[in-house]
Structure 1
Amino acid sequence: MAGDAATGGTGSVRIGAVDDHPVILAGLAHGLRWHLPTAVLRPVHTTVAAFLDRVREPIDLVLLDVELHDGSDAAENVTRLVARGFPVLMFTQDHRHHALARCLRAGASGILSKGEDLATVASAVRAVADGEPYLSPDWASVLAEDAVLTPQLTPREMEAVRLYAAGMKLTSVARRLNVSEDTARTYLLRARTKYADVGRPAPTKTDLYIRAVEDGILPVPGSPPATER
């Protein structure tokens, strides 16, 4: 449902958003008119599930926040949107480098900080809507250095880490994953080995929790829940 070269045949740049900060998005929609008069910001939802379920009109790109407070994984959210044909531009206040590196590997076209000026936002939106990647020099430098420090966990390893690091016992993790306890233990051991291999060891459950938060597998402690509009 993505548009053609940021015009969709109408001259408009149609922007969807998945974010739980409506005030920021409202200000963005208003301010973009000065730098990108053809921009139309809609629809806006607080979860990827709601966006994909309700979007009807063609969209040229989706602004996606990293931390949605709905229990979803940022990289998995990117994967779901890209699979539906939507270019994704991360639009976030989250500066966890490992989490953002995972989003780029999942197919995001770039990263934009919410603190950027409107001219920069407009430039990033134009680039991604036109099928080009967007990374500021600062983000490009940080992520280039960070890429080798983010382990490549399989989906099952990641889910085991998510459940176990969040406080579940191994038996409960195995039950949730519908596997044996030995298999669940193997997932965790493989994940720990991969973290150790990139110089970020996680020998204890607390260490594993810290790594999961750093990589966006688990939310930042104290993050408020969001309510879908």
Structure 2
Amino acid sequence: MRNAMKLPNGFVVTTDNAGGIGEKQADVVYAPNHVVSYFAARVALLEQWAANAQVQSVIIHNFSGEAAWQAYMDGVQRLFDEVNLGQILIIGSSETNMELLQSAMSVTMIGSSKEIEDCDVTWFIYGQPCVGSEVLENAKNFADLKKLKEAIGQGWVKKVWPVGSKGIQSEVGALFADDTIVVISELDVGKSAGPSTVVLLGVQRESVELARQYFGDEFRDLVV
């Protein structure tokens, strides 16, 4: 996965950040701090899964002031609770010498990867692209990480490719290493998917019908 740093001994580092989104008066988008960290953690976690890695620890970089720290911690833990990851070590640092006008933070995850056997898969689009305030209003249209984790654990979702700010079209081109591919979809394939509200999934061929039933209406064929 291109957004994951693979280190020796199987360690994988992933990260995501948010700027101008939070509880400060000058922020471009207002959102509770625990929601901001939740979605930053969502992206970093998906990048871990894309690299076939399991999270071991988390680092929060907080530039929004000491008062924001606990809410940022709570948002990350909320995500872990939702996908049944349990208690994972969360550490970090807060900028307390300088007070910024806008919120800024990032979440970095360190995980350990495992080798998996390569296999033929059929690719699908899961979720709808949302960005900015849409993220707070359309949660029912997102790729559901709890469902995704269960499907990975059951062994029939073999590959994961998160879609972010570059949109579905760009990520499909990167996935297949072919920028000439044109995605045909009812979705806006050029629109940012914000905090990975869309995920491209590689499903083993014999489990395609199971996947359609399991993921529901937000699960679409990847047509190119």
- Taking structure 1 as the reference length, what is the TM-score of the superposition? 0.26
Q: From the two aligned structures, give the one with the greater helix fraction.
A: 1
- Higher Cα Rg, which structure: 1
